Amino acid sequence: MKFDINTIREQFPALSLTDEGKARIYLDNPGGTQVPRQVLERMQHYLIHTNANHGGPFRTSVESDKVLEEAHQGMADLLNAKSADEIVFGANMTSLTFAVSRSIGRLLKRGDEILLTRMDHDGNVGPWLHLAEDLGLKVKWLKFDLETYEYNLDEAESLFKNGNIKLAAINYASNCLGTINNVKVLTEMAKQSDALVFVDAVQYVPHGPTDVQDIGCDFLACSPYKFFGPHQGVMWGKAEILEKLEAYKVRPADNFAPGKFETGTQLHEGQAGTLGVLEYLEQIGKTMGAEFQEQFPEFSGRRKYLHAAMLAIQDYEQTLSLRLIEGLQNLSGVDVKGISAKKDLSRRVPTISFTVKNQDPEEITRKLAAENIFVWHGHNYALEAVRLMGLEESGGVVRIGPVHYNTLEEIDHTLEVLKTCW
Protein backbone atom coordinates (compact mmCIF):
# COMPACT_ATOMS: atom_id res chain seq x y z
CA MET A 1 0.00 0.00 0.00
CA LYS A 2 1.19 3.51 -0.86
CA PHE A 3 0.94 6.31 1.66
CA ASP A 4 -2.77 6.42 2.48
CA ILE A 5 -3.78 9.66 4.15
CA ASN A 6 -7.30 8.45 5.02
CA THR A 7 -5.97 5.43 6.91
CA ILE A 8 -3.50 7.69 8.68
CA ARG A 9 -6.11 10.24 9.73
CA GLU A 10 -8.55 7.61 11.02
CA GLN A 11 -6.01 6.74 13.68
CA PHE A 12 -5.97 10.22 15.23
CA PRO A 13 -9.22 10.90 17.14
CA ALA A 14 -8.43 14.63 17.46
CA LEU A 15 -8.35 15.12 13.69
CA SER A 16 -12.09 14.62 13.26
CA LEU A 17 -13.16 17.16 15.89
CA THR A 18 -15.15 20.20 14.82
CA ASP A 19 -16.10 23.40 16.63
CA GLU A 20 -19.28 25.25 15.67
CA GLY A 21 -19.32 23.27 12.46
CA LYS A 22 -15.74 24.14 11.53
CA ALA A 23 -13.18 21.35 11.20
CA ARG A 24 -10.01 21.83 13.19
CA ILE A 25 -6.97 22.33 10.99
CA TYR A 26 -3.86 21.53 12.97
CA LEU A 27 -0.93 23.37 11.44
CA ASP A 28 0.61 24.15 14.83
CA ASN A 29 2.56 20.87 14.75
CA PRO A 30 6.09 22.24 15.27
CA GLY A 31 4.75 23.29 18.68
CA GLY A 32 3.28 19.85 19.37
CA THR A 33 1.40 17.16 17.47
CA GLN A 34 -1.81 15.17 17.93
CA VAL A 35 -1.65 11.52 18.99
CA PRO A 36 -2.87 8.27 17.38
CA ARG A 37 -5.04 5.75 19.24
CA GLN A 38 -2.07 3.53 20.04
CA VAL A 39 -0.71 6.27 22.30
CA LEU A 40 -4.01 6.68 24.13
CA GLU A 41 -4.45 2.93 24.50
CA ARG A 42 -0.93 2.41 25.79
CA MET A 43 -1.27 5.23 28.35
CA GLN A 44 -4.66 4.05 29.55
CA HIS A 45 -3.49 0.46 29.76
CA TYR A 46 -0.44 1.51 31.71
CA LEU A 47 -2.46 3.50 34.23
CA ILE A 48 -5.10 0.83 34.74
CA HIS A 49 -3.00 -2.33 34.71
CA THR A 50 0.63 -1.59 35.55
CA ASN A 51 0.76 1.69 37.46
CA ALA A 52 3.61 1.46 39.96
CA ASN A 53 6.97 2.85 40.93
CA HIS A 54 10.20 1.40 39.63
CA GLY A 55 12.06 -1.64 40.96
CA GLY A 56 9.57 -3.54 43.13
CA PRO A 57 9.18 -7.35 43.17
CA PHE A 58 5.37 -7.22 42.92
CA ARG A 59 3.28 -7.62 39.77
CA THR A 60 2.53 -3.98 38.87
CA SER A 61 6.10 -2.83 39.41
CA VAL A 62 7.55 -5.76 37.45
CA GLU A 63 5.17 -5.10 34.56
CA SER A 64 5.72 -1.36 34.73
CA ASP A 65 9.47 -1.89 34.47
CA LYS A 66 8.90 -4.07 31.43
CA VAL A 67 7.04 -1.21 29.73
CA LEU A 68 9.86 1.21 30.55
CA GLU A 69 12.46 -1.19 29.15
CA GLU A 70 10.42 -1.63 25.99
CA ALA A 71 10.09 2.14 25.59
CA HIS A 72 13.87 2.55 25.85
CA GLN A 73 14.41 -0.23 23.32
CA GLY A 74 11.80 1.29 21.00
CA MET A 75 13.51 4.67 21.04
CA ALA A 76 16.85 2.94 20.43
CA ASP A 77 15.27 1.45 17.29
CA LEU A 78 13.88 4.80 16.15
CA LEU A 79 17.25 6.53 16.50
CA ASN A 80 19.40 3.51 15.58
CA ALA A 81 21.17 3.53 18.91
CA LYS A 82 23.49 0.65 19.77
CA SER A 83 21.72 -0.05 23.03
CA ALA A 84 18.58 0.83 25.00
CA ASP A 85 20.88 1.96 27.81
CA GLU A 86 21.85 4.93 25.66
CA ILE A 87 18.28 6.27 25.80
CA VAL A 88 17.46 8.73 28.58
CA PHE A 89 13.85 9.79 29.15
CA GLY A 90 12.95 13.06 30.83
CA ALA A 91 10.35 15.79 31.08
CA ASN A 92 11.29 17.45 27.79
CA MET A 93 14.30 18.22 25.62
CA THR A 94 15.06 21.49 27.42
CA SER A 95 15.17 19.97 30.91
CA LEU A 96 17.32 17.08 29.71
CA THR A 97 19.72 19.49 28.01
CA PHE A 98 20.01 21.71 31.08
CA ALA A 99 20.70 18.65 33.25
CA VAL A 100 23.31 17.02 31.02
CA SER A 101 24.98 20.37 30.32
CA ARG A 102 25.94 20.49 34.01
CA SER A 103 27.55 17.07 33.73
CA ILE A 104 29.34 17.98 30.49
CA GLY A 105 30.54 21.15 32.21
CA ARG A 106 32.66 18.98 34.49
CA LEU A 107 34.76 18.05 31.46
CA LEU A 108 35.35 21.70 30.48
CA LYS A 109 37.50 24.43 31.93
CA ARG A 110 37.72 28.22 31.90
CA GLY A 111 38.75 29.53 28.47
CA ASP A 112 37.45 26.51 26.53
CA GLU A 113 35.25 27.40 23.58
CA ILE A 114 31.80 26.13 22.70
CA LEU A 115 30.04 26.51 19.37
CA LEU A 116 26.38 27.54 19.28
CA THR A 117 24.25 28.36 16.26
CA ARG A 118 22.05 31.31 15.33
CA MET A 119 19.50 28.91 13.86
CA ASP A 120 18.63 26.71 16.81
CA HIS A 121 15.74 26.84 19.26
CA ASP A 122 16.80 28.25 22.61
CA GLY A 123 16.55 24.77 24.13
CA ASN A 124 19.97 24.10 22.57
CA VAL A 125 21.32 27.59 23.23
CA GLY A 126 20.16 28.76 26.67
CA PRO A 127 21.56 25.79 28.65
CA TRP A 128 25.00 26.28 27.07
CA LEU A 129 24.98 30.07 27.58
CA HIS A 130 24.36 29.48 31.29
CA LEU A 131 27.18 26.94 31.37
CA ALA A 132 29.49 29.38 29.59
CA GLU A 133 28.69 32.05 32.14
CA ASP A 134 29.21 29.73 35.10
CA LEU A 135 32.51 28.27 33.86
CA GLY A 136 33.99 31.21 31.93
CA LEU A 137 33.73 29.47 28.54
CA LYS A 138 33.98 31.41 25.29
CA VAL A 139 31.03 31.21 22.91
CA LYS A 140 31.51 31.05 19.15
CA TRP A 141 28.46 31.51 16.94
CA LEU A 142 27.72 29.84 13.63
CA LYS A 143 25.30 32.04 11.70
CA PHE A 144 23.24 31.11 8.66
CA ASP A 145 23.14 32.73 5.26
CA LEU A 146 20.20 35.11 5.00
CA GLU A 147 19.62 34.21 1.36
CA THR A 148 20.02 30.44 1.40
CA TYR A 149 18.81 29.90 5.00
CA GLU A 150 21.63 27.36 5.39
CA TYR A 151 24.97 27.33 7.14
CA ASN A 152 28.06 28.15 5.18
CA LEU A 153 30.14 25.02 5.75
CA ASP A 154 33.39 26.85 5.00
CA GLU A 155 32.59 29.26 7.80
CA ALA A 156 31.85 26.32 10.10
CA GLU A 157 35.14 24.66 9.17
CA SER A 158 37.09 27.81 9.85
CA LEU A 159 35.42 28.23 13.27
CA PHE A 160 36.51 24.72 14.21
CA LYS A 161 40.01 25.01 12.71
CA ASN A 162 40.86 28.37 14.21
CA GLY A 163 39.63 27.75 17.69
CA ASN A 164 39.62 25.61 20.74
CA ILE A 165 36.07 24.31 20.49
CA LYS A 166 35.33 21.56 22.98
CA LEU A 167 31.60 21.28 22.46
CA ALA A 168 29.37 22.00 19.47
CA ALA A 169 25.61 22.35 20.06
CA ILE A 170 24.08 22.10 16.60
CA ASN A 171 20.60 21.71 15.18
CA TYR A 172 19.25 19.13 12.79
CA ALA A 173 16.10 20.83 11.44
CA SER A 174 15.14 24.40 12.25
CA ASN A 175 11.84 25.05 14.01
CA CYS A 176 11.73 28.43 12.28
CA LEU A 177 13.30 28.16 8.82
CA GLY A 178 12.62 24.47 8.26
CA THR A 179 16.19 23.93 7.01
CA ILE A 180 17.61 20.43 7.47
CA ASN A 181 21.26 20.86 8.33
CA ASN A 182 24.04 18.53 7.34
CA VAL A 183 24.70 17.42 10.90
CA LYS A 184 26.91 14.58 9.74
CA VAL A 185 29.36 16.92 8.03
CA LEU A 186 29.25 19.39 10.93
CA THR A 187 29.94 16.51 13.31
CA GLU A 188 32.89 15.35 11.19
CA MET A 189 34.36 18.86 11.40
CA ALA A 190 33.80 18.99 15.15
CA LYS A 191 35.43 15.60 15.60
CA GLN A 192 38.59 16.79 13.86
CA SER A 193 38.87 19.21 16.75
CA ASP A 194 37.92 16.52 19.27
CA ALA A 195 34.80 18.43 20.26
CA LEU A 196 31.76 16.79 21.76
CA VAL A 197 28.66 17.18 19.58
CA PHE A 198 25.15 17.70 20.94
CA VAL A 199 22.44 17.57 18.24
CA ASP A 200 18.99 19.07 18.73
CA ALA A 201 16.82 16.80 16.59
CA VAL A 202 13.46 17.88 18.04
CA GLN A 203 12.24 19.17 14.69
CA TYR A 204 13.84 16.54 12.52
CA VAL A 205 12.67 13.30 14.14
CA PRO A 206 8.98 13.91 13.19
CA HIS A 207 9.96 14.31 9.54
CA GLY A 208 12.69 11.85 8.64
CA PRO A 209 14.76 8.79 9.60
CA THR A 210 17.32 9.49 12.32
CA ASP A 211 20.52 7.50 12.67
CA VAL A 212 22.77 8.53 15.55
CA GLN A 213 25.50 6.08 14.54
CA ASP A 214 25.62 7.44 11.03
CA ILE A 215 25.77 11.05 12.23
CA GLY A 216 28.60 10.19 14.61
CA CYS A 217 27.52 12.71 17.26
CA ASP A 218 27.75 12.20 21.02
CA PHE A 219 24.27 13.30 22.08
CA LEU A 220 20.98 13.76 20.25
CA ALA A 221 17.79 15.05 21.81
CA CYS A 222 14.18 14.89 20.66
CA SER A 223 10.67 15.23 22.07
CA PRO A 224 8.01 12.53 21.57
CA TYR A 225 5.23 15.14 21.77
CA LYS A 226 6.56 16.57 18.49
CA PHE A 227 6.30 13.17 16.84
CA PHE A 228 2.76 12.15 17.78
CA GLY A 229 3.49 10.98 21.31
CA PRO A 230 2.89 12.32 24.81
CA HIS A 231 4.70 15.25 26.46
CA GLN A 232 8.10 13.69 27.00
CA GLY A 233 11.73 14.35 26.18
CA VAL A 234 14.35 11.81 25.08
CA MET A 235 18.10 12.18 24.94
CA TRP A 236 20.37 9.65 23.31
CA GLY A 237 23.99 9.64 24.47
CA LYS A 238 26.91 7.50 23.33
CA ALA A 239 27.39 4.74 25.92
CA GLU A 240 31.03 5.45 26.71
CA ILE A 241 30.34 9.13 27.26
CA LEU A 242 27.25 8.59 29.40
CA GLU A 243 29.34 6.21 31.47
CA LYS A 244 32.12 8.76 31.87
CA LEU A 245 29.86 11.68 32.81
CA GLU A 246 29.07 12.32 36.42
CA ALA A 247 25.30 12.72 36.77
CA TYR A 248 23.62 15.16 39.13
CA LYS A 249 21.58 12.60 41.00
CA VAL A 250 20.50 11.47 44.46
CA ARG A 251 22.71 8.90 46.14
CA PRO A 252 20.40 5.86 46.12
CA ALA A 253 19.68 6.25 42.39
CA ASP A 254 21.40 4.05 39.78
CA ASN A 255 25.08 4.68 39.16
CA PHE A 256 24.86 3.71 35.52
CA ALA A 257 23.05 4.99 32.42
CA PRO A 258 20.30 5.61 31.69
CA GLY A 259 19.08 5.50 35.31
CA LYS A 260 21.67 7.90 36.66
CA PHE A 261 20.34 10.63 34.33
CA GLU A 262 16.65 9.82 34.84
CA THR A 263 16.27 11.74 38.06
CA GLY A 264 13.35 11.12 40.41
CA THR A 265 10.27 9.21 39.35
CA GLN A 266 9.72 9.31 35.64
CA LEU A 267 6.46 9.88 33.74
CA HIS A 268 5.86 6.16 33.24
CA GLU A 269 2.59 6.61 31.37
CA GLY A 270 4.44 8.98 29.03
CA GLN A 271 6.98 6.27 28.25
CA ALA A 272 4.10 3.84 27.68
CA GLY A 273 2.56 6.39 25.29
CA THR A 274 5.88 6.78 23.51
CA LEU A 275 5.87 3.04 22.95
CA GLY A 276 2.40 3.52 21.45
CA VAL A 277 3.66 6.03 18.91
CA LEU A 278 6.47 3.70 17.94
CA GLU A 279 3.90 0.96 17.35
CA TYR A 280 1.94 3.39 15.18
CA LEU A 281 5.02 4.33 13.13
CA GLU A 282 6.12 0.71 12.84
CA GLN A 283 2.73 -0.09 11.34
CA ILE A 284 3.17 2.69 8.76
CA GLY A 285 6.57 1.24 7.87
CA LYS A 286 5.09 -2.22 7.43
CA THR A 287 2.00 -1.23 5.47
CA MET A 288 2.99 1.93 3.58
CA GLY A 289 6.76 1.85 3.58
CA ALA A 290 7.45 -1.24 1.45
CA GLU A 291 9.29 0.71 -1.25
CA PHE A 292 11.56 2.30 1.37
CA GLN A 293 12.42 -0.78 3.42
CA GLU A 294 15.22 -1.85 1.07
CA GLN A 295 17.07 1.37 1.82
CA PHE A 296 17.89 -0.05 5.23
CA PRO A 297 19.46 -3.46 4.45
CA GLU A 298 21.44 -3.42 7.68
CA PHE A 299 18.31 -3.10 9.84
CA SER A 300 15.69 -5.68 10.63
CA GLY A 301 12.32 -5.88 12.39
CA ARG A 302 10.98 -2.77 14.07
CA ARG A 303 14.13 -0.75 13.36
CA LYS A 304 13.73 -1.30 9.63
CA TYR A 305 9.99 -0.52 9.69
CA LEU A 306 10.47 2.65 11.71
CA HIS A 307 13.08 3.99 9.33
CA ALA A 308 11.01 3.04 6.28
CA ALA A 309 8.00 4.78 7.86
CA MET A 310 9.94 7.99 8.24
CA LEU A 311 10.98 7.92 4.58
CA ALA A 312 7.36 7.34 3.53
CA ILE A 313 6.36 10.30 5.69
CA GLN A 314 9.14 12.47 4.26
CA ASP A 315 8.07 11.64 0.74
CA TYR A 316 4.43 12.60 1.39
CA GLU A 317 5.35 15.74 3.30
CA GLN A 318 7.25 17.13 0.33
CA THR A 319 3.95 17.39 -1.55
CA LEU A 320 2.61 19.49 1.35
CA SER A 321 5.70 21.73 1.38
CA LEU A 322 5.46 22.34 -2.33
CA ARG A 323 1.75 23.21 -2.29
CA LEU A 324 2.16 25.50 0.69
CA ILE A 325 5.26 27.34 -0.53
CA GLU A 326 3.89 27.85 -4.05
CA GLY A 327 0.56 29.01 -2.64
CA LEU A 328 2.21 31.47 -0.26
CA GLN A 329 4.40 32.86 -3.00
CA ASN A 330 1.28 33.68 -5.00
CA LEU A 331 -0.06 35.88 -2.21
CA SER A 332 0.80 39.57 -2.25
CA GLY A 333 3.53 40.80 0.06
CA VAL A 334 4.58 37.34 1.30
CA ASP A 335 8.24 36.59 1.99
CA VAL A 336 8.92 32.92 2.74
CA LYS A 337 11.78 32.69 5.23
CA GLY A 338 13.37 29.45 4.16
CA ILE A 339 14.43 27.16 1.32
CA SER A 340 11.74 27.55 -1.35
CA ALA A 341 12.96 26.11 -4.67
CA LYS A 342 11.14 22.94 -5.70
CA LYS A 343 14.39 21.12 -6.42
CA ASP A 344 15.65 21.82 -2.87
CA LEU A 345 12.63 20.69 -0.88
CA SER A 346 14.43 17.57 0.32
CA ARG A 347 16.68 19.91 2.32
CA ARG A 348 13.81 21.19 4.41
CA VAL A 349 11.00 19.97 6.66
CA PRO A 350 7.50 21.29 5.90
CA THR A 351 7.67 23.95 8.62
CA ILE A 352 7.15 27.14 6.62
CA SER A 353 7.66 30.59 8.16
CA PHE A 354 6.83 33.82 6.39
CA THR A 355 6.26 37.51 6.84
CA VAL A 356 3.80 39.75 5.03
CA LYS A 357 4.68 43.32 4.16
CA ASN A 358 3.18 45.77 6.68
CA GLN A 359 1.28 43.02 8.49
CA ASP A 360 1.52 41.91 12.11
CA PRO A 361 2.16 38.13 12.31
CA GLU A 362 0.00 37.85 15.42
CA GLU A 363 -2.94 39.47 13.67
CA ILE A 364 -2.70 36.90 10.85
CA THR A 365 -2.64 33.96 13.25
CA ARG A 366 -5.68 35.42 15.06
CA LYS A 367 -7.61 35.64 11.81
CA LEU A 368 -6.70 32.03 10.98
CA ALA A 369 -7.67 30.97 14.51
CA ALA A 370 -11.11 32.50 13.97
CA GLU A 371 -11.51 29.97 11.12
CA ASN A 372 -10.29 27.12 13.36
CA ILE A 373 -6.90 27.00 11.63
CA PHE A 374 -4.14 26.62 14.21
CA VAL A 375 -0.73 28.15 13.47
CA TRP A 376 1.99 29.85 15.50
CA HIS A 377 3.59 33.26 15.22
CA GLY A 378 6.48 35.14 16.82
CA HIS A 379 9.97 33.77 17.39
CA ASN A 380 8.81 30.37 18.68
CA TYR A 381 11.98 30.35 20.83
CA ALA A 382 14.21 30.50 17.74
CA LEU A 383 15.28 33.79 19.21
CA GLU A 384 18.65 34.03 17.51
CA ALA A 385 17.23 33.18 14.07
CA VAL A 386 14.49 35.79 14.29
CA ARG A 387 17.01 38.37 15.56
CA LEU A 388 19.47 37.59 12.74
CA MET A 389 16.68 38.14 10.21
CA GLY A 390 15.89 41.48 11.91
CA LEU A 391 12.33 40.42 12.71
CA GLU A 392 12.24 40.55 16.50
CA GLU A 393 10.76 44.05 16.73
CA SER A 394 8.15 43.42 14.06
CA GLY A 395 6.72 40.33 15.77
CA GLY A 396 8.68 37.53 14.11
CA VAL A 397 7.06 35.27 11.57
CA VAL A 398 3.85 33.36 10.90
CA ARG A 399 4.70 29.65 11.03
CA ILE A 400 2.61 27.02 9.27
CA GLY A 401 3.76 23.53 10.19
CA PRO A 402 2.06 20.56 8.50
CA VAL A 403 2.96 16.98 9.31
CA HIS A 404 2.10 13.68 7.64
CA TYR A 405 -1.51 13.71 8.86
CA ASN A 406 -2.32 16.99 7.15
CA THR A 407 -3.92 17.04 3.71
CA LEU A 408 -3.49 19.06 0.54
CA GLU A 409 -7.12 20.17 1.03
CA GLU A 410 -6.21 21.64 4.41
CA ILE A 411 -3.32 23.52 2.84
CA ASP A 412 -5.58 24.82 0.06
CA HIS A 413 -8.24 25.93 2.54
CA THR A 414 -5.63 27.71 4.67
CA LEU A 415 -4.33 29.52 1.58
CA GLU A 416 -7.88 30.57 0.70
CA VAL A 417 -8.41 32.00 4.19
CA LEU A 418 -5.01 33.71 4.06
CA LYS A 419 -6.21 35.58 0.94
CA THR A 420 -8.75 37.35 3.16
CA CYS A 421 -6.29 38.18 5.96
CA TRP A 422 -4.70 41.34 4.51
- Closest approach of Cβ 209 to ligand PLP, in Å? 18
- What is the contact mask toward ligand PLP in residues 137 to 176, using x (rule: CB under 6 A)? --------------------------------------x-
Q: Which is nearer to ligand PLP, 368 or 385 (CB)?
A: 385
- Is 270 a binding residue for ligand PLP by CB under 6 A? The answer is no
Q: Is 29 an interacting residue with respect to ligand PLP (CB under 6 A)?
A: no
Residue closer to ligand PLP by CB (options 112, 218) is 218
Residue 234 near residue 89 (C-beta atoms within 8 A) = yes
> 72: helix, coil or strand?
helix
Please check whether residue 288 is in contact with residue 405, taking contact to mean a CB–CB distance below 8 angstroms. Answer: no
Nearer to ligand PLP, 302 or 337 (CB): 337
Task: Look at the chain and count its residues.
Answer: 422
Closer CB to ligand PLP, 80 or 124, in the complex: 124
Least distance to ligand PLP, CB of residue 211, Å: 18
Within 85-104, which residues bind ligand PLP (CB under 6 A)?
92-94
Task: Pick the piece of the chain touching ligand PLP (CB under 6 A) from 43-51, 196-204, 283-291, 301-309.
Answer: 196-204
Check if the beta carbon of residue 116 is closer than 8 Å to that of residue 141.
yes
Q: Minimum distance from CB of 213 to ligand PLP (Å)?
A: 22
Complete DSSP assignment for 127-189: HHHHHHHHHTPEEEEE-B-TTT-SB-HHHHHHHHHTS-EEEEEEESB-TTT-BBP-HHHHHHH
Phi then psi for 356, rounded to 5 degrees? Answer: -130, 130
- Binding to ligand PLP by CB under 6 A, coded x per residue (else -) over 50-89, reads ----------------------------------------
Q: In terms of CB distance, is 38 or 94 closer to ligand PLP?
A: 94
Residue 26 φ/ψ, nearest 5 degrees: -90, 100
- The answer to whether 203 contacts ligand PLP (rule: CB under 6 A) is yes
Smallest gap, in angstroms, from Cβ of residue 295 to ligand PLP?
Answer: 26
**Which distant-in-sequence residues (6+ apart) come within 8 Å of 283 by Cβ?**
38, 305, 309
Question: Of 217 and 418, which CB lies nearer to ligand PLP in the complex structure?
Answer: 217
Q: For ligand PLP, which residue of 202, 205, 385, 403 counts as binding (CB under 6 A)? A: 202
Q: What angle do helix axes 59-79 and 301-329 make, rounded to 10 degrees?
A: 60
Of the two residues 50 and 92, which places its CB atom closer to ligand PLP in the complex? 92
Q: Does the bond joining 209 to the residue before it have cis omega, within 30 degrees of 0?
A: no
* Residues 261 and 242 sit within 8 Å (Cβ to Cβ): yes
419 φ/ψ angles, rounded to the nearest 5 degrees: -60, -25
Q: Which uninterrupted H or E stretch holds 340?
A: none
Residue 107, amino acid = L
**Binding mask 352-381 vs ligand PLP (x if CB under 6 A, - otherwise)?**
------------------------------
By CB under 6 A, residue 200 contacts ligand PLP:
yes
Q: How many residues bind ligand PLP (CB under 6 A)?
A: 13
Q: Residue 415: how many CA atoms within 13 Å on its side-chain side?
A: 22
Q: Per CB under 6 A, does 33 bind ligand PLP? A: no
- Closest approach of ligand PLP to the CB of residue 122, in Å: 8
Of 37-45, 111-119, 198-206, 300-308: span binding ligand PLP (CB under 6 A): 198-206
DSSP, residue by residue, 178-229: -BBP-HHHHHHHHHHTT-EEEEE-TTTTTTS---HHHHT-SEEEE-GGGTTS
Contacts with ligand PLP, residue ranges (CB under 6 A) = 30, 92-94, 121, 123-124, 175, 200, 202-203, 223, 233
